[in-house]
Structure 1
Amino acid sequence: MSQASEPSPAGPATPTRTTRTRQIRVVGLVVALAVLAAALVPIVLAVGPPTRDELLEQAGMKGKQQLVIGVKDDQPGISQRFSNNVWKGFDVDIAYMIASFLGFDRSQVRFLPIESEDRARRQASDGDGFVTVDLVIASYSINKKREEEGAVFSSAYLHTEQSVVTLQSFKGPVSSLQDLAGRSVCSLTTSTSIERLTEAGATPRGRNRISECIQELYDGEVEAVTTDAAILAGFVTADRPGDDGQRFPVTLRNTKPLRHWDIGSSPQERWGVNTGPNRALRDLVDLALYTSANDEEDSTWENAYNANLRWQQQYNPGQPVAEQEQPEARKVEVRQWPWERIALPAPAHPGSPPTSVTANRAAWRGRGRRSSGC
């Protein structure tokens, strides 16, 4: 065979004009995207909503060593201070949940007792005088009058309703406040229940603490007490055991069995957190509540409800203690990159005893009623 018939060795492939054109276009596109990104980043940083970190800075939470929260100290199941200075209750667990979101662990949270009339001003007693607390989480119903007094509320974290308790021996029924006409009835001085009792023909007695009202009921000085059902349920339950053996040691005198009455006349009592005038702090609290309500993996709220309120229902037949679903919270816009995800951090505290959470959060919803304004 002649050399002319042998194949010549293959040389290096020469790029075609089309291939070179494509390469040039890809390089140009990458450069253009890089320029565009460099131009957009400062714009986003300048005009977008604040990041969560920026909100923490604006709220004065960065570098803060202690979060001071005003709570009630005499409401079993809601917020109660025990003799060893341990605090327990639904409001306490919600306070820890919010504190964790703000970057504080359990040891950095300080609770101070706060009276009803001091909640709008956020003034609580530390034993030596009054101090301004960072947050008020104290069975504080959201209403316009309180906002006019200076309270700045977060979204609601619990829905309940107004009800009445009497001694078990009381000859009922009590299906409305009108059924208490001519009788002496105690309520918190700052609640709108006082005015409503007068309208119903009852004789109201105002006290600063609901435990004082219950004591007067035991002593026969009044015939009934009215305020939010979630508050009264703890006194009706008293020291009877929960599913896990939990009890509410109510240190009142001359205690007697109580009966809880559904009066069917008030709408949802919407409990909120008084955050004060710092808008960034209110946004952070709402962000914590929104995240908790919308994260199916998070059961902190449900655990708090189960540990403190749900098990009491057996001792309060006929009167719903509170709604079993966390209220929807206001959505707060925060700036984040696509790969970022706002999520409630794992609680920085042991929290409530573990309890089972139902598969879905939809549960009993209260009927539309008028407000007691606890």
Structure 2
Amino acid sequence: MKVPQAGAVAAVIVIALTTSACGGEEKAQGTISIGIKFDQPGIGLRETGGTFSGFDVDVATYVAGELGYAPDRIEFKQVYSNDRELLLQYNEVEFVAASYSINDKRKEKVDFAGPYFLAHQDLLVRADDSSIAKAEDLNTKRLCSVTGSTSAENVKKTLAPKASVLELPGYSECLVALQDKLVDAMTTDNSILAGYAARKGNEGRFRLVGLNLSDERYGIGVEKGDKELQGKINAALQKMVADGAWETAVKKNFGPGYAYEPAPKIAATG
């Protein structure tokens, strides 16, 4: 946590004794900063007018509520796939809920609460393109993914090492490249791809190939070593599943046609 300025020390002490919310500077200001994606329909999207929608937004809002923060005290900050660890390491956000797949490499730099969702890597192609039916077909194709994503790494190392991979900052840029035929497919989690395919204006223009190329367990990233916050978030996630709010959020954001996996078991803090 950031150290409060000297002039605010007394206020910080008073607030620390009267609130159950977590955070150092956030306590003094009465807000909590949370990292989410801004460009993923169904997951994390900044809507016109500045409101936010998506499954990760609903999860983050629920967790923040359990930590003592009302929705109007949440400050959402945009994160990209390649800077999520940095925002946590430099205390720019309290936690990150941004389609953040848990893996050993990332656990070297941050700790994870969860997992709270299980997705699978898939491919999105133009609706009139039938030339891609399996991962190996990408070896002669142009593929787009996001810099720093596990999906891009999985393709390059395992699925199609000869594929031409274009890495861009965000999935919205990949969708434009796919639409303009600069690439033949884009890859990430099926939950994200389904959100793009179903978004208004995209209906009938794209399709998911329907491959389960990996298991992606979404976790909430916290600063490395912050076991207290990790434990509180795990407890909040368990409550969200138990009271039905998790399933409600899944159905609201992904629609009735999305074949989602049951809520995964929340890992023990440690």
Does the TM-score normalized on the shorter chain lie above 0.5? yes
Whole-Å separation in 2 of the counterparts to 1:234 and 1:181: 26
Q: Of the candidates 216, 241, 244, which is equivalent to residue 299 of structure 1?
A: 244
Q: Secondary structure at the match of 2:220?
A: strand
Measured at CA, do residues 131 and 144 of structure 1 come closer, stay the same or move farther in structure 2, by a change above 3 Å?
closer
Bigger mean CA deviation after superposition, 218-227 or 302-311? 302-311
Matched AA of 1:274: G
Instruction: Give the alignment of 1:1-374 within 5 angstroms.
Output: 56=20, 60=24, 65-122=30-87, 132-148=92-108, 150-175=109-134, 177-199=135-157, 200=160, 201-239=162-200, 257-266=205-214, 268-277=215-224, 278-293=226-241, 295=242, 298-313=243-258, 320=259, 322-323=260-261, 325-330=262-267
Whole-Å separation in 1 of the counterparts to 2:60 and 2:123: 27
TM-score, scaled to structure 2: 0.83
Whole-Å separation in 2 of the counterparts to 1:62 and 1:264: 42
Bigger mean CA deviation after superposition, 279-288 or 193-202? 193-202
Shift of residue 193, structure 1, vs aligned partner? 3.0
Matched AA of 1:167: R
**Does the 8 A contact of 1:56 with 1:280 survive in 2?**
no
Residues matched between the structures, number:
249
Q: Secondary structure at the match of 1:145?
A: helix
Q: CA RMSD in A?
A: 2.7
Which has more strand, going by share of residues?
2
Shift of residue 291, structure 1, vs aligned partner? 2.4
Whole-Å separation in 1 of the counterparts to 2:265 and 2:192: 22
Whole-Å separation in 2 of the counterparts to 1:308 and 1:156: 18
**Does the 8 A contact of 2:22 with 2:67 survive in 1?**
no
**Does the 8 A contact of 1:137 with 1:272 survive in 2?**
yes
**Does the 8 A contact of 1:290 with 1:330 survive in 2?**
no
Where structure 2 has 5 or more consecutive residues not aligned to the other structure, the ranges are: 1-16
Whole-Å separation in 2 of the counterparts to 1:162 and 1:283: 28
Measured at CA, do residues 214 and 275 of structure 1 come closer, stay the same or move farther in structure 2, by a change above 3 Å?
same
Whole-Å separation in 2 of the counterparts to 1:187 and 1:264: 16
**Does the 8 A contact of 1:237 with 1:312 survive in 2?**
no
**Does the 8 A contact of 2:88 with 2:94 survive in 1?**
no
Where structure 1 has 5 or more consecutive residues not aligned to the other structure, the ranges are: 1-52, 125-129, 240-248, 314-319, 334-374
Q: Secondary structure at the match of 2:82?
A: helix
Deviation by residue 1:135-179 (Cα, 9 ceiling, x = unmatched): 11111000011122x12111111101000000001023412x201
